[in-house]
Amino acid sequence: MKIINNALLNELTEKASESERLRMNHNFHDSNESKSQRLLNALEPGTVIPLHKHDNTAETYIVLRGSIRVDFYNSVDSLGESAVIDPLEGNYGIDIPAGQLHTLEVLKNGTVIFECKDGPYIPINTSL
């Protein structure tokens, strides 16, 4: 049993802020081969999430604290829609359809999201 509480979020945020990538995850799935990829992802402003897509699975983000902007692209060089996800503004999460080009920007320090998608884990393809 693992309770998702302030202590866990604070621990992940501290590790993210000390990380070169400015992010740190805590996996709930057993391995990269698991059929369900479930994780907390602590993200600090300045982390780079490259434009990417998941061809075979939708992806869902729930913001536990902080704020992100998710950008959907029509093509590699054509921004479509954007959405700010911030629980303090009543926007708690977003579901990203399979095959949708997207990226995100972290808007607040201490941001932590719950992320889930079908597995197994496949590294993102950034050579679009």
Q: In 3-state terms, what secondary structure has residue 127?
A: coil
Is residue 123 scored above 70 in pLDDT? Answer: no
Residue in 32, 100, 5 with CA at minimum distance from that of residue 60: 100
C-alpha 78/C-alpha 102 separation (Å) is 11
Tokens of 98: 């399979």
Q: CATH for 6-118, among 2.40.110.10, 3.40.640.10, 2.60.120.10, 4.10.910.10?
A: 2.60.120.10
Alpha-carbon separation of residue 117 from 17, 30, 53, 97, 114 (angstroms): 25, 14, 12, 10, 10
Express each pLDDT in 57-78 by its tens digit.
Answer: 999 999 999 999 999 999 888 9
Express each pLDDT in 28-43 by its tens digit.
Answer: 988 777 788 899 999 9
